[in-house]
Amino acid sequence: MKTENEERAGLLYGIGAYGMWGLVPLFWPLLKPAGSVEILAHRMVWSLVFVGIALLAVRRWGWVRELVRSPRKLGMITVAAAVITVNWGLYIWSVNTGHVVEASLGYFINPLVTIALGVLVLQERLRPAQWAAVGIGFAAVLVLAIGYGQPPWISLTLAFSFALYGLVKKKVNIGGLESLAAETAVQFLPALAYLVWLGGQGTLAFGSHGAGHTALLTATGIVTAVPLVCFGAAAIRVPLSTLGLLQYLAPTFQFLLGVLYFHEEMPPERWAGFSLVWLALTILTWDALRTARRSRAAMETAKAAAEAATEPAGPAEDEGAAGPAGAAAPSPAPARQAL
């Protein structure tokens, strides 16, 4: 049983993780004049350095042997690395070119895309409320596509790439730090080669704009890994339903930053599309909470019934029913009432 203090700590870790992910649009513009691809390359290189140091500190290396012996898992890690490269690169570019609101939409619709992938890839069956949420989400994309004059490609690419990344990670099933270490190990050499090439061309921003800028580029590893560590700490302390609610903090913060801080435009059709997405997420969240509550009640009832079935029979209190030896005859034990 998790203590109240553990759950409180888990909630704080979760808020910290999603809060940092939500505020990260404030960080990427600080790295200019480095281009988006150079920032992405630094993120890959320094993330591996930071995660490697963290793994050395906690002495968790046993997973490496198991991973190397499994070509299937290695292949999946490579796919995960490729998919998250697209996600990271597009997100950095979106923030640094004034598309924060559209990027936030990608993470708002990500749960809907994840559900759709579950149906298409894993053959999962949806409840009626989930079908309704997916349908409303599809209508939102249509509204936004009509408003933009084209589909919201940034949002859709971010949503599908992150949903696919989650699907692959589910199949690989290794810890957060370990997974990030493996993925950035795959990314490391191409990223380092690109930075060396930029240096040969004389266009490398690293080290060319002062010690502060260099330190910020190095900090991309910390910015990547710290929220993931907090998320891992939250995941083992709070229920999945709580994490499901906390995940909306990140795109909410991103949306508010896009509108209030970066002053991006919000024409009526964009408000209409976002409103439909929020409606879909409200339905999805309500259905998830209702299902979780019913599942807990069913488990408690089953547990109580199992305990009642295994409870030993007690001695009878009817002295007139004594057997030949003068002992009281046993009577059936009463069933324990489920509270």
pLDDT digits (tens, 9 = 90+) for 18-56: 999 999 999 999 999 999 999 999 999 999 999 988 888
Instruction: Report the Cα 240 to chain-centroid distance in Å.
Output: 11
Cα–Cα distance list, 186 to 50, 85, 317 (Å): 15, 11, 73
- What is the pLDDT confidence band of residue 324, given thresholds at 50, 70 and 90? very low
Percent of the chain exceeding pLDDT 70 equals 90
- Quick one: the chain helix, strand, coil %, rounded to 5? 80, 0, 20
Q: Nearest to residue 25, comparing CAs of 288, 250, 281?
A: 250
CA dihedral sign of residues 231, 232, 233, 234: positive
How big is the CA angle at 282 (ends 261 and 88), to the nearest 5 degrees? 50
Q: Supply the pTM of this predicted model.
A: 0.82
Q: What is the pLDDT of residue 313?
A: 54
Is it the case that residue 68 has pLDDT exceeding 50? yes
